[in-house]
Structure 1
């Protein structure tokens, strides 16, 4: 075997393409980060300003006097129960997430693991529901909820949206790739389908469950149309309904809109930061690419 010895005294050529490409990547990333941070800066800046400073011609990077009184004005407003709406959104978001995970994971596990001759037909029926526009089922759902007396209640806000065909599809596809050897070992120990699901599958699928939980909670927190129809009384408003009430045909409370929006996105930011690692790993396990 022969080896090549570099010539002594001959200058080595340094490739500058890698350094230049890395520098360009950092610059592009920094510019993109600044562009994404502009809306958050506007939220914070306008939240502690007066309406005159927000709509005035002379723009200031930050107001000279921060209007800390906007916070007390927001929570002491009797026409819009903002604190109550935050609580309602938290309750709806958490219960909706837990219920969706339980219902859809059980449905997906049954379709993936329990053998029966109509499993494929039921799975195809679930896929068909993805093709039905939500506007088609909106009125029948409202009539059903109204006949049950669930208007202005948590039951009406949560229960109709517990099942999601797409979430069920994701769980089925994930469970099809779950190692069967673990479940077979559980059955040898005397566990049935429920025992294998609860004691083996769930503890070994926390990353995937965290990813679905994050997406479901964000969707539940940001939902607007269904809570608008069901939550007719101000005591049943969610945070999105409360935000819309600051903009009417007569007046627009700019500082309250920005402040309420800034406060309303804080739970989403905390959830995303807390579950970010599990979210990335869970999405990778779904098989979704691109």
Structure 2
């Protein structure tokens, strides 16, 4: 079989187009990555500068002299116990993530697997909660928490958020696609719904649980409005509330704001880097089509 000149030209054109396409893709990806890294660069740059350099008229790409003392000043500030706020955020984020994964996974598994004539109605009620604005339930939730004496406590910060309608929905979608054969084999061995869930479903769903844990942890760490209202005493402030205290009507401590921001995002970066490969895979396993 002979190759004609038009075939050779077409083949070369395709190869050239593929190379140009890959080059364009790499350039676009590099530009997007640089744009994504700009805020992080500004945070680190300003965190290691003085207020005079940050607000000065002349732009500087790097600090004239790196102010490592800003780290010591952040943790030695008598008005804000930043180390305590980091600990509070860690406790709230970890316990909230654990509780939400347990409650919502059990609810999603029950809605997906346990036969019940009102299961669909319960599921629709769960979906309806997603349409209720947070502002509508904010005041009643605060009144309830206050009447229980949970203000300035971990219980007040964690318990009201232990159920998420959206997370429950995602778990139900995932369990609907989970292989029933594994659960049927578990029931042959004498396990009930709880045994099948705990011994079969959970060990085979760790990727999805890790994805949900990442999203839930980030949301818990970044929560601001509810901790601001419940944590009225400085000893119960979370890191986001502590950050807001550096900006008042009288003064703005720019270098402390940026240093506190840089320190506060480090746990999120570590969590994301450790669990990032499960994020897309976990969401894809829910069965939601874009």
TM-score bracket for this pair, using the shorter chain length = over 0.9
**Distance across 1 between alignment mates of 2:119 and 2:32:** 47
Deviations 1:183-217 (A, max 9, x none): 01000001010000000000111111111111101
Deviations 1:7-28 (A, max 9, x none): 6x99943121111111111111
Contact 2:173 2:288 in 1 (8 A): no
Residue in 1 that maps onto 2:49: 49
Q: Distance in 1 between matches of 2:269 and 2:7?
A: 52
Q: 2:176, 2:7 → 1: CA distance?
A: 58
Distance 1:10 1:288, change over 3 A: closer
Distance 2:234 2:75 in 1: 14
CA contact (8 A) 2:173 2:286 kept: yes
Q: Which residue of 1 aligns with 2:165?
A: 165
Mapping of 1:1-290 within 5 angstroms? 4-6=1-3, 12-13=8-9, 14-15=12-13, 16-290=16-290
Deviation track 1:97-155 (CA, whole Å, cap 9, x = no partner) reads 00000000001111111111121111111111111111111111111101111100000
Question: Which residues of structure 1 form unaligned runs of 5+?
Answer: none
C-alpha distance in structure 2 between counterparts of 1:167 and 1:275, whole Å: 18
Of the structure 1 ranges 58-67 and 256-265, higher mean CA displacement relative to structure 2 is found in 58-67
Please, which runs of 5 or more residues in structure 2 have no aligned partner?
A: none
RMSD of Structure 2 on Structure 1 (CA):
1.4
Per-residue Cα deviation, 1:29-58 (whole angstroms, up to 9, x for no partner): 111111111111111110010000000011
Could you say what secondary structure the match of 2:205 adopts? helix
Q: Distance in 2 between matches of 1:45 and 1:69?
A: 14
**CA distance in structure 1 between the aligned counterparts of 2:6 and 2:175, rounded to whole angstroms:** 60
Paired residue total: 286
Q: Deviation per CA, 1:208-239, whole angstroms, max 9, x where unpaired?
A: 11111111011100111100000000000000
Q: Report the TM-score when normalising by structure 1.
A: 0.96
CA pair 196-64 structure 1, distance change in 2 beyond 3 A: same
Give 1:169 deviation, angstroms.
Answer: 0.8
Report the Cα distance in structure 1 between the residues aligned to 2:155 and 2:177, rounded to whole angstroms.
35
By how many angstroms is 1:245 displaced?
A: 0.4
